[in-house]
Structure 1
Amino acid sequence: MASGVSCFYAASAHWVMGTVMAACVVTGGGGANAQQGGATSVDKLEEIVVTARKRTETLQDVPFSIDAKTERQLRYRGASNLPQLARNVAGLTVVDLGLGQSQLAIRGISAGQVIRDQPGVKEQVGIYLDESAISVALFTPDLDLFDLNRVEILRGPQGTLFGSGSLAGTLRYITNEPEMNETAGIAEGNYSVVEGGGMGWNLKGAVNVPIVEDKVALRAVAYYDRLPGFIDAIQPSTEVDQLGNPIFPVDDDVNDGRRYGGRLALAIEPNENLRITPRVVFQKIDTDGFPRIDAYNILGNPFTTDADLPPVTLGEREQFTQLEEGLEDDFLLFDLKIEYDFEGVTLTSISSYTDREVVITRDATQLTGSITGGSQGLPLDVAKLDAPLVDVTDLQAFTQEIRLASSGDGPLQWVVGGFYQDFTRDYGQTLNVAGFEEATDIPTAGDVVSTDILFFSDFAFDFRQIALFGEASYQFTDALSFTAGLRWFDFEEDRNLVFDGIFTDQTGPDGVDGDVSSDGVNPRFILSYDVSSDLQVNAQVAKGFRLGGINDPLNTPLCSDEDLQTFGNRPTFEDEEIWNYEIGAKASFDGGRGTFNVAGFYSDIDNLQATIDAGSCSSRIVFNVPSARSIGVEAEFAYQPTENFDFAVAASFVDAEIRSTVTSTVDGVTSPVAGIERGNRLPTAPEFQLNAAATYMHPFDNVLTGFITGTFQHVGSSFTQIGDQVDGFGTVDLFDLGGITQDTFTFDPQLPDYQLANLRLGVRTETWELSFFINNVFDERALLSLDRERGTRARVGFLTNQPRTFGLTARTSF
């Protein structure tokens, strides 16, 4: 198991004060046997090896835009989950709906937030754990980053080698594999306190053990995270003080939780040509709530006057709920990698099976109350009935990839292979409003549901895909190389839908069937030229794709006639396609002490799959937008001027917008649909992002080294969905459930820019490390995404980040 010592980047600065806090740490190779590092230092930047083209090469040699972060870099930058990772990578952004519910966007290519009740929508960024695809459009697995070798971020379409879902790019978690003939381990403990919130802690460990000399080795990883909460939930009032003012109970730190799991991998090498690696990965996430702050809630706001619905004023990190919310996410992956080296050719087989269940419990009382008490005018006591909405996702996926790749040193390098995927997904929702029928005398039992279940859905998806792919690179001269690749795919998807309850169009127990299919080809061409040994220029043309799907039916009993005309009769949506044109340069300077990489791109998008709120229907469907585009530039600079100090800066600028208008004609009036209008921004991605990192270390002697590490990130403003840009969207017409002081509520749907800084300092030797850290040094409250119920008429909220956090980390290795 290789190890080394390197100085990596981390940084911190305050945007307004203009101060830069520098830090440094000596790092090992990142594995269980990595040396902690003493006073030793290096005189040039670490060379990171990646496998972005299904073969081993250095980051600087890959002829397109790619970034890679080691596990230790991410840890010292305070990045322990996907949203924090995104703020450290130029051009990568995340729609954050809470732990285990993140959605990625690269280069501003996004169609908007996918809501948990849209099971037919596919991802735009492919997610891989080593060679196994684990992508899901909404429920991107939020894996713990402990004992990873690195995370690779491949920008731009990767459809040739990574297939559907890699339309905008690919993110790959690369783990440390078992190593022969070396017993090594690492253990880490962490304790933290959130300002104004709870306490958190974690324990993590990894061990590498040879079982049979030169033949068999085992690597095991385990971790337990106690996640601190920082959101308080105000509960309905049942008491008053001596002056008659309501006393609201408070449930503190409702978004706390637990994340635990591990990996167990076995490496078997019967001979020098064959390596077999079976592995199992398990993770469980269990949260008691969500990091949401409420700006308006129909049942808890300052505008009500009824004695049974007293006014509520919420603080900056508070929400209003009647019920306990939460998420349970069980993730299990089995995979088997087999590699056999022939003379000059390597055969690789990757088989993987994923079993995942996600159960989300939401307090939908405000949503239900906006229908029963708002639209239907039922009494307040009916509108306030507890309404838990339970979402259950159960999926199983099997994938098989087999490929042959050249392994020699000749001018021609190539890879060819085949891919098969069989994916089943069952998704359903149940809204149980106990006491509704008794309070209203409205019959609620249906063909499938029992009394008081007002909404029920059961989706059964069966998805199958096959693909053939190949890519070859030829080195015409020592300086000039050309790459061409192609992928052919064919897929089909079947769905059966059962709807029941008075809020739906009941389908009956047999449900309604739907299907969609597609096939096509995706090419890629790359030209690379080495101007010198320190400068490479490259150009790329590549196509990417995202498979189409089946729209969910509207909740027609809730729809207005106008919304039925606008959003109805859209049973399916088509494949989304992109052509990406890119030029870039990668430079090294000062004897390897510095690097500078830059890339400019133009992405032409056809049939963008835009997620749209279907007005009064309390439904969401997908519209195909004929044309959109994203144009921008990303740059990364890293430099180590001395052996004890280095720094890095990365930034991206993206101009992504819709280039065509989708209209609807209702009662003779034609108007754009839900913000799908030429010139409007694509959602999710900010126009400008920047992250900076600096490191400084001070050797006290030949054993002990002191360090201080800091990071800074700036994320520009953005929108959560395309429809958030419609004129007047930020004005909510209030339902009157028994007296209100004003008719409307106004909020700004544009998410403002934010700045975050982290700081870490400590001491370390070859075998141990002790550090103190402050994350979110300036206690910035960032609004990460807009959370709305019933198109904002029931609730307006924002997902937010963790406040200032203080902590201690202890780490040891052997």
Structure 2
Amino acid sequence: MNTKLCAAWLLSVSTLAVSTLAATPAMAQTAGQGDDIVVTALKRETRVQDTPLAITAMSGNMLNNMGAAGIADVARSVPSLNLLASESGRTRVSIRGIQTAGEATVGVYFGEVPLTGPAGTTSDPSGSTPNLNLFDTERLEVLRGPQGTLYGSGSMGGTLRVLFKQANLTKYEAAVDAGVETTKNGGTGYSIKGAVNVPIIEDMLAARLVLYRQRTGGFVDDPSIGRYNMNSVMTTGGRLMLGFRPTNNLRINFMGIIQDQHTGGTSLWAPSVGTYTSGLRIYTPAIDKQKIFSLDTKWTTPIGTISLANGYYRWDVRQTNDNSDNYQSVANSYRYCGLYQNTYSGSLLQTGASGTTTSSSNCASSAGGYSSAQLRANYLGWANSQMPIGNYQPRWVENVTNELRLNSDGKGRLNYTLGAFFENRKDRVDTTVFAGVPGTGLMRDPLVDLGSRFVRDVINQTAQFGELSYRPIDILNITAGLRHYHYKKIVGGAYLGYNYFNGQTPMNYTEVNASADGFIQKYNVELKPNRNLMIYATASQGFRPGGANLTPGIPASATQYQADSLWNYELGLKSQWFDRKLTFNVDAYRIDWTNMQTAVQATYGNFSYISNVGAARIEGFEAELSGTPTKGLFLNGSLSVVYPRLTADQVNSEVTAAGRVGNILTGIPRTTASAGAEYGWTINSNWKGMMRADFSYTGKMTTQLNPTNALYRTYGKYSQVNLRAGIENERYGVYVYVRNLLDASGLSYYSAVSGTPDYIATTTPRTIGVNLRGNF
């Protein structure tokens, strides 16, 4: 760990603790501090400090004062929460280092709806994280550690919940927010957002409507195809919330969300080409469209609250990628020269029974009257004539979820949560590999199809779950949870032609099935001697479903992969001091992860597929501190240290992958830290001022498991400072802000592939802006 960083963090803790001793009892209301936020992480309302798990909560006020428009804007303020950004706005979210290809490792909920991205050709839905706008949000909750019993599959690392403001049945409300900003060496951006709440029938029926449009300025250029600031993003959306309370003990909430996000091009750039300059030769825009609808019904009865959560969403993504460098490298190796000669040019090479070339697959020997040099020159000349090459991938996922629960009120000695869950998810991806136009990167017209295919998935999941808590004495509470799950997954698809760059050969529609069922457990002991102190210990399981591979060149035994699972052992302390003006929470954990789902390379073709290889142990600790040392001042800080390494070689009967015992898991920062300070003061009887500063640090990450790998790179190790200041009253506010004050170019993603230049994604350069707010 960075010793200077640790020392600085500990010094800030000590300084805050000492200053708090002399503090006044005032609270920094504008900060919306997390310790008094009421959350529903346990499916019932509890105060954060009364919730026996590692949880970070942020109120809507705090999100506003941080200037947070999306999840990425708050990630570094939450211990162990990591967003691994790649190209075209795609991100992979992880908590506590639980991160590999396959089904999601973090449950992402908007309201009561869990969102999983499209699986794509490699059955990797965890590669896409929804990025809905956070305007008019009630709170954000991040539950760290597996939440398998209450939240099911996909929550093996933790759960992230976004709770939007519900319709207010009693008051008319309105809010507007508008801003403009400019990015150094990049473009300009703007935002306009509005919300209105109307009680239609007072105390019974109300509607809340939110509309927004936001543009972020890009900063990556690609002069070779005439594109500048091409990674700009335009987001347009709306949200309708309806609240209906026909009786005092029945409440029905409807949520409808529509959002379209258009990304102008890749955010990856190549240092070998130039700073913030991409060397891609294909134009790579992306379109992301989401429609989410939910109905949340809660009925209060003498035995508890009966909840019925019905959800539906449709998520469409259209993306274009550049294959030029990779395919050029393959062509230069002549790997599929034989396949090309046999099926395209008409030359007669030796072939095997399967129709693929054998000893002459790379045209290393003469055949059919042609010399090896002639065969290779023929193939390479054709390959070069197709450059640049891209692939166009429209993909979608459609999901229906239903959950029925019975919750006790949490007031008695015995409390319970009982429920049942059902999910039906379908997705599909179509891939067209095409020849592009040199100089523009657009698709040639008419289309030159270099190898199309499609893959579709259907997954059905059912579960029954329950948690029982018993408080034998006032200071002790014991909880046990159990979830039974069953899933069935079908993966089907077809290969519609030859691809002479990756070895694809035509294949009729084929399906592969996988299914499993099992149990997930949780045990928790909570000791709370007084209101301001809690010690808890947890042993909990997490899992995610297995699946099936539809990948050429793999043995039949590798077409299915199993669920992977883990055990988490955690000890935590939650405390408040000095009349609750100082809050300090800390936890330590150990995770044992077995049967890991991992992306590996096929022996034939350059496709990847998922296999169960290796095991890992992840150990770490997390700390959070917040306090109000003086009137109007709110301070907060967090620290996370994680040690994730393999405990078994990545070897099974079909796979010998790179990882060996002791290798550090990739893409996971070993240390993250954050600190924030917010101060509000009175200017006159009508106006007050506010200032906020946020600091975050991201530690070292690696691209490969094995340090001896030629593609092993280190990245991360960067910090960022944001500032925000303004004047405000009860109705209006004017603010100026600077993101990335020191203009740090932090490496947040690193792509190193054999035979191609390295590409990186970095933090956005210094951005300066102003925004206006109004509440009516």
Mapping of 1:114-125 within 5 angstroms? 114=101, 121-125=102-106
Task: Look up the SS of the partner of 1:371 in the other structure.
Answer: helix
Cα distance in 2 between the residues matched to 1:613 and 1:795: 20
Cα distance in 1 between the residues matched to 2:28 and 2:650: 63
Cα–Cα, structure 1 residues 811 and 46, in superposed 2: closer, same or farther, change >3 Å? Answer: farther
- Correspondence for 2:775: 813
Task: Look up the SS of the partner of 2:541 in the other structure.
Answer: strand
Q: Are 1:269 and 2:245 matched, yes or no?
A: yes
Q: Are 1:804 and 2:766 matched, yes or no?
A: yes
Cα distance in 2 between the residues matched to 1:43 and 1:807: 23
Cα distance in 2 between the residues matched to 1:169 and 1:217: 33
The answer on whether the counterparts of 2:36 and 2:48 sit within 8 Å (CA) in structure 1 is: yes
After superposition, the C-alpha distances for 1:761-794 in whole angstroms (9 at most, x for unaligned) are: 1111111111110000111111112235xx4323
The answer on whether the counterparts of 1:494 and 1:516 sit within 8 Å (CA) in structure 2 is: yes
Mapping of 1:402-441 within 5 angstroms? 402-407=404-409, 409-433=411-435
Once the two structures are TM-superposed, the CA of residue 509 in structure 1 deviates from its matched residue by 6.4
The answer on whether the counterparts of 2:33 and 2:59 sit within 8 Å (CA) in structure 1 is: no
- Correspondence for 2:662: 679
Identity over aligned pairs, percent: 28
- Correspondence for 2:526: 528
Q: Are 1:642 and 2:630 matched, yes or no?
A: yes
After superposition, the C-alpha distances for 1:520-574 in whole angstroms (9 at most, x for unaligned) are: 00011110011322111000010110111112414x5xxxxxxx7xx89521211
Q: Are 1:778 and 2:742 matched, yes or no?
A: yes
Matched to 2:454, the amino acid is D
Cα–Cα, structure 1 residues 680 and 226, in superposed 2: closer, same or farther, change >3 Å? Answer: same
- Correspondence for 1:401: 403
After superposition, the C-alpha distances for 1:117-169 in whole angstroms (9 at most, x for unaligned) are: xxxx2101110011111123122111111111111110111010000000010
Cα distance in 1 between the residues matched to 2:65 and 2:275: 28
Cα distance in 1 between the residues matched to 2:32 and 2:216: 39
The answer on whether the counterparts of 2:33 and 2:62 sit within 8 Å (CA) in structure 1 is: no
Task: Look up the SS of the partner of 1:366 in the other structure.
Answer: helix
Once the two structures are TM-superposed, the CA of residue 344 in structure 1 deviates from its matched residue by 3.7
Task: Look up the SS of the partner of 1:177 in the other structure.
Answer: coil
Match of 2:381 among 376, 379, 382: 379
The answer on whether the counterparts of 1:703 and 1:765 sit within 8 Å (CA) in structure 2 is: yes
Once the two structures are TM-superposed, the CA of residue 295 in structure 1 deviates from its matched residue by 3.8
Once the two structures are TM-superposed, the CA of residue 608 in structure 1 deviates from its matched residue by 1.2
- Correspondence for 1:518: 516
- Correspondence for 2:63: 74
- Correspondence for 1:117: none
Once the two structures are TM-superposed, the CA of residue 388 in structure 1 deviates from its matched residue by 2.5
Which structure 1 residue ranges, 5 or more long, are not aligned? 1-11, 23-36, 115-120, 237-249, 297-313, 437-449, 557-563, 667-671, 731-747
After superposition, the C-alpha distances for 1:51-78 in whole angstroms (9 at most, x for unaligned) are: 0000000000001111111233234334
Match of 1:591 among 546, 570, 579: 579
- Correspondence for 2:693: 710
Cα distance in 2 between the residues matched to 1:334 and 1:40: 33
After superposition, the C-alpha distances for 1:365-387 in whole angstroms (9 at most, x for unaligned) are: 22332233453551388256232
Match of 2:96 among 81, 92, 107: 107
Mapping of 1:175-186 within 5 angstroms? 175-186=164-175
Cα–Cα, structure 1 residues 519 and 53, in superposed 2: closer, same or farther, change >3 Å? Answer: same
Cα distance in 1 between the residues matched to 2:115 and 2:581: 36
Q: Are 1:358 and 2:317 matched, yes or no?
A: yes
Matched to 1:345, the amino acid is G
- Correspondence for 1:745: none
Cα distance in 2 between the residues matched to 1:682 and 1:42: 36
Q: Are 1:367 and 2:356 matched, yes or no?
A: no
Match of 1:576 among 559, 564, 571: 564
Matched to 1:627, the amino acid is A
Once the two structures are TM-superposed, the CA of residue 316 in structure 1 deviates from its matched residue by 1.7
- Correspondence for 2:180: 191
Cα distance in 1 between the residues matched to 2:410 and 2:726: 45
Cα distance in 1 between the residues matched to 2:657 and 2:193: 47
Cα distance in 2 between the residues matched to 1:108 and 1:197: 33
Which structure 2 residue ranges, 5 or more long, are not aligned? 16-25, 118-125, 338-375, 439-445
The answer on whether the counterparts of 1:80 and 1:145 sit within 8 Å (CA) in structure 2 is: yes
Matched to 2:170, the amino acid is N
Aligned residues: 701
Mapping of 1:118-137 within 5 angstroms? 121-136=102-117, 137=126
The answer on whether the counterparts of 2:700 and 2:714 sit within 8 Å (CA) in structure 1 is: yes
Mapping of 1:694-705 within 5 angstroms? 694-705=677-688
Cα–Cα, structure 1 residues 140 and 72, in superposed 2: closer, same or farther, change >3 Å? Answer: same
- Correspondence for 2:713: 749
Cα–Cα, structure 1 residues 151 and 45, in superposed 2: closer, same or farther, change >3 Å? Answer: closer
- Correspondence for 2:647: 659
The answer on whether the counterparts of 1:585 and 1:597 sit within 8 Å (CA) in structure 2 is: yes
Q: Are 1:766 and 2:730 matched, yes or no?
A: yes
The answer on whether the counterparts of 2:470 and 2:478 sit within 8 Å (CA) in structure 1 is: yes
Once the two structures are TM-superposed, the CA of residue 271 in structure 1 deviates from its matched residue by 1.1
Cα distance in 2 between the residues matched to 1:39 and 1:505: 62
Once the two structures are TM-superposed, the CA of residue 40 in structure 1 deviates from its matched residue by 8.3
The answer on whether the counterparts of 2:28 and 2:634 sit within 8 Å (CA) in structure 1 is: no
Match of 1:545 among 543, 546, 556: 543
Matched to 2:462, the amino acid is I
Cα–Cα, structure 1 residues 755 and 380, in superposed 2: closer, same or farther, change >3 Å? Answer: farther
The answer on whether the counterparts of 1:149 and 1:174 sit within 8 Å (CA) in structure 2 is: yes
Cα distance in 2 between the residues matched to 1:204 and 1:344: 42
Match of 1:461 among 441, 452, 457: 457
Cα–Cα, structure 1 residues 416 and 123, in superposed 2: closer, same or farther, change >3 Å? Answer: same
| More off after superposition, 180-189 vs 133-142 | 133-142
Matched to 2:772, the amino acid is A
TM-score, scaled to structure 2: 0.85
The answer on whether the counterparts of 2:414 and 2:470 sit within 8 Å (CA) in structure 1 is: yes
- Correspondence for 2:223: 234
| Coordinate RMSD, CA, aligned | 2.9
Once the two structures are TM-superposed, the CA of residue 357 in structure 1 deviates from its matched residue by 0.9
After superposition, the C-alpha distances for 1:28-58 in whole angstroms (9 at most, x for unaligned) are: xxxxxxxxx9998899986111000000000
The answer on whether the counterparts of 2:583 and 2:625 sit within 8 Å (CA) in structure 1 is: yes
Task: Look up the SS of the partner of 1:235 in the other structure.
Answer: helix
The answer on whether the counterparts of 1:48 and 1:59 sit within 8 Å (CA) in structure 2 is: yes
Cα–Cα, structure 1 residues 79 and 279, in superposed 2: closer, same or farther, change >3 Å? Answer: closer
Match of 1:260 among 236, 260, 263: 236
- Correspondence for 2:295: 336
Cα–Cα, structure 1 residues 537 and 622, in superposed 2: closer, same or farther, change >3 Å? Answer: same
Cα distance in 1 between the residues matched to 2:412 and 2:229: 60
Once the two structures are TM-superposed, the CA of residue 202 in structure 1 deviates from its matched residue by 0.5
Once the two structures are TM-superposed, the CA of residue 98 in structure 1 deviates from its matched residue by 4.2
| More off after superposition, 681-690 vs 184-193 | 681-690
Match of 1:287 among 254, 260, 263: 263
Match of 1:163 among 133, 139, 152: 152
Once the two structures are TM-superposed, the CA of residue 724 in structure 1 deviates from its matched residue by 5.0
- Correspondence for 2:467: 471
Matched to 2:600, the amino acid is I
Higher RCO by CA contacts (8 Å cutoff, separation 6 or greater): 1
TM-score, scaled to structure 1: 0.82
Once the two structures are TM-superposed, the CA of residue 701 in structure 1 deviates from its matched residue by 1.8
